[in-house]
Structure 1
Amino acid sequence: MTDNCATFNRLIPHLNKNLGFLCIDLPGHGYSSRLPPGMFYHMSNHVILIHYLAKYFQWSKVSLMGHSMGGIASYIYSMVYPENIDFVICIDGAKPMIRKNVNIHMAKAISKFLKYDELSSGNKEPPSYTIDNIKEKISKPNNNSVLHEYSHILMERNIAPSKLHPGKYYFTRDPRIKTGELLNFPQDELTQYAQNITCPIFIAKARGGSYYEVKENFYEVLDVLKRSSKDCDFHYVDGSHHVHLNNPDAIGKLIKEFIRRHNIEDRSIGGIKDDIIVNDNKTSLNI
């Protein structure tokens, strides 16, 4: 689970060869559809999506791997449906973050949503940029998280050629996803609910990343997971928020060993459906 599934392009070749990986662009990202006009992107949408996919593919058990927002969605699903999970992998994103002054944040989020909803509902083309400008916009967030040399990997499913400005490109993602969350779980509830996660859980915390909240909140929940989980495999890894993209070898070894220990479920029931149509007509961008 992630916003743009190409983020795993460099990591998966380092993982277990006897296991298949289904990567997903979350709604509003990559090649996935947008939500209808007027709809807000809640984290609960992603949890519903996981549950929908599990039922659609008839998977009795689900193994989840997510980065950042995808890691948080995977964590919440494990917290809500612990009986459905055999193991979960969270890369620099696990427990939902706690915001202070929720009322002020909520008011700002609603204002941003109305602005972006109007933009996404219209027929006006988004602002366009040169390829170099786009690479900078992808690389710079989260303290220059994505190395410039790998920024093109996240571009393929994320941009389209401008019809108004030849030679330039615009971002195809839904601008409403920039609104952020409206509400969050209270910390005491997250600490309590962490007891539900009894499945093996792998958590990687990038040393060059951020906690995006009071860091004590994270460690309070981690302490509960170390007691509740059959195998709470926590690691600090050298690198930025996108360590799995920049340095997949280092984190890949850790994840591979975790999967080797816990890939024990019978996966003969369910599977990829024949009626899934893969769009092979996406134009490859010269980037």
Structure 2
Amino acid sequence: MTLLEKEWYIQAPWGRICIVAWGDCRDPPVLVCHGNIDSAASFRPLMKLLPKKFYYVGMELPGNGKSDPYPPGMVICSYDMLYSIVAVVRHFRWKKFVYLGHSLGSTLGLMYALAFPDEISKLIVLDPVTDHVAIPAKSFSIWYMKNLKKYIKNYDNYNVPKELGTKYKKEEVIAKLVKNRRITEETAEATLARWSTPTDDGYIRYTFDQRLKTFLHYPLSPSTLKDLYTSIKTPILAIVMDESVRQGKYDTTKFMLDETTHPGGNYRVRDVPGHHDEHVVHPEKVAPYIANFLLYGLQGLDSKGKL
């Protein structure tokens, strides 16, 4: 039986946050958070394979999907995005919940666990690449030029009103999404539908916040990031894609690949063949790990008989 999907909005100080939920609201909650310039639609394939005993609440981050953006102005950083998660949790009045995130959503989940150490009961991070967070001192100049200087230089383009944005052919955008993210055409179209709008002349315009193209993570040294992440006491399942490892996405944070670096014994890593968005095109590769962790916690991962 497929989980029933419902969609609505909740109010935040700056605008509306779009919620896409699957399941029965009386079941234990799992907050689901996507990556940058994405939407809740990317989790639909995975939802078909997860246990029906949970209530999966997908939020669309500000400026992503159908959620309103933050007010125009300065560059958006991960700390801004983190507060949107706080707003969702407070709206539902959750005292405890499970967190499932992908990419940027993973980073935000780890940050939330650090800021509110008693609220997340289990943390699942799908390919939590960290090359954009852990910045060695010698690379600070490159980080600054790539992020802040680039944003200021292109300030007008990043803050242009939606109705004045560049127009694109829908078919070309879908083909680009399929090629770049290596997802199916069906998922690409579902994703595009959540952050674009048609024009009168047969084209489309993006509705996602253009500032997300220079989304900012304030840099931390690799050693500081290790101290922070390994201090988290919450049980964590990290699903790491082998292609991301080969691309060097974890070179400055190899501790993310090693369970023994977490002194609390609460960290488990599962290496999965595939690319960054593998959970979208082949959810069956990651669903068994997630399901066992949801149902049985760390014990479910350590017991080979359950997989």
Tell me whether the two structures share a fold, i.e. TM-score over 0.5.
yes
Q: Which runs of 4+ in 1 moved over 6 A?
A: none
Deviation at 1:212, TM superposition (A): 6.6
Q: CA deviation at 1:184?
A: 1.2
1:43-54 alignment runs, 5 A limit: 43-54=78-89
Picking from 20, 42, 54, the partner of 1:7 is: 42
- Between the aligned partners of 1:29 and 1:107, the Cα distance in structure 2 is 25
Find the aligned partners of 2:129 and 2:98 in 1 and give their Cα distance.
Answer: 15
Greater alpha carbon shift after TM alignment, 194-203 vs 211-220: 211-220
Residues 226 and 104 (structure 1), Cα distance of their counterparts in 2 relative to 1, 3 Å cut: closer
Change (3 A) 1:115 1:168: farther
Name the CA distance, whole Å, in 2 between partners of 1:43 and 1:211. 25
Counterpart of 1:146 in structure 2 is: 183
Q: Which of 168, 173, 187 is the aligned partner of 1:129?
A: 168
Q: Give the corresponding residue for 2:64.
A: 29
User: CA 1:227/1:108 → structure 2, altered by over 3 Å: closer, same or farther?
Assistant: closer
Question: Hey, what does 2:133 align to over in structure 1?
Answer: 97
- Return the letter of the residue paired with 1:158: W
CA distance in 1, matches of 2:54, 2:168: 39
C-alpha displacement at 1:115, in angstroms? 5.1
CA distance 1:108–1:223, change in 2 (3 Å): closer
The answer as to whether partners of 1:201 and 1:229 remain within 8 angstroms in 2 is: no
Percent identity, aligned pairs only, is 22
Counterpart residue number, 1:281: none
Q: Which one has more relative contact order, counting CA pairs under 8 Å at least 6 apart?
A: 1
**1:1-287 superposed matches below 5 A:** 1-2=33-34, 3-93=38-128, 95=130, 97-100=133-136, 101-114=139-152, 116-119=154-157, 120-122=159-161, 125-141=164-180, 144-163=181-200, 166-181=201-216, 183-209=218-244, 215-223=250-258, 227-262=262-297
Aligned residue identity for 1:118: D
- Answer yes or no: is the 8 Å Cα contact 1:98–1:213 preserved in 2: no
TM norm structure 2: 0.76
Structure 2 residue ranges without an equivalent (≥5):
1-32, 299-307
Deviations 1:264-283 (A, max 9, x none): xxxxxxxxxxxxxxxxxxxx
Aligned length: 259
Taking structure 1 as reference, are residues 229 and 170 closer, same or farther at Cα in structure 2, changes over 3 Å only?
A: farther
Distance 1:225 1:81, change over 3 A: farther
What secondary structure sits across from 1:21 in the alignment?
strand
Task: Give the aligned partner of residue 23 of structure 2.
Answer: none
| Residue type of the alignment partner of 2:63 | G
Q: Residue 26 of structure 1: CA displacement? A: 0.6
Report Cα offsets for 1:51-92 as digits up to 9, x if no partner. Answer: 232222211113111111111111121133222210111111
Which residue of structure 2 aligns with residue 279 of structure 1? none
Summarize deviations over 1:231-273 as a string: whole Å, max 9, x none.
422111122211111001221111111100139xxxxxxxxxx
Contact 2:133 2:217 in 1 (8 A): no
Partner of 2:27: none
Contact 1:201 1:231 in 2 (8 A): yes
Tell me which amino acid in the other structure corresponds to 1:5. A
CA-based RMSD of the aligned residues comes to 2.5
- The separation in 2 between residues aligned to 1:150 and 1:138, in whole angstroms, is 9
Given the superposition, is the C-alpha separation of residues 214 and 245 from structure 1 closer, same or farther in structure 2, using an over 3 Å criterion?
A: closer
Distance in 2 (CA, whole Å) between partners of 1:111 and 1:216 is 25
Partner of 2:25: none
Amino acid aligned to 1:259 = L
Q: Which deviates more, 102-111 or 77-86? A: 102-111
Choose 94-103 or 153-162, whichever is displaced more.
94-103
Q: How far is 1:213 from its partner?
A: 5.2
Q: Distance in 2 between matches of 1:70 and 1:88?
A: 11
CA gap 1:214/1:17 in 2 versus in 1, 3 angstroms: closer
Q: Which residue of 2 aligns with 1:282?
A: none
Greater alpha carbon shift after TM alignment, 220-229 vs 168-177: 220-229
- 1:204 aligned counterpart, secondary structure: strand
Residues in 2 aligned to 1:229 and 1:7: alpha-carbon distance in whole angstroms: 32
The TM-score with structure 1 as length reference comes to 0.81
Q: Secondary structure at the match of 1:60?
A: coil
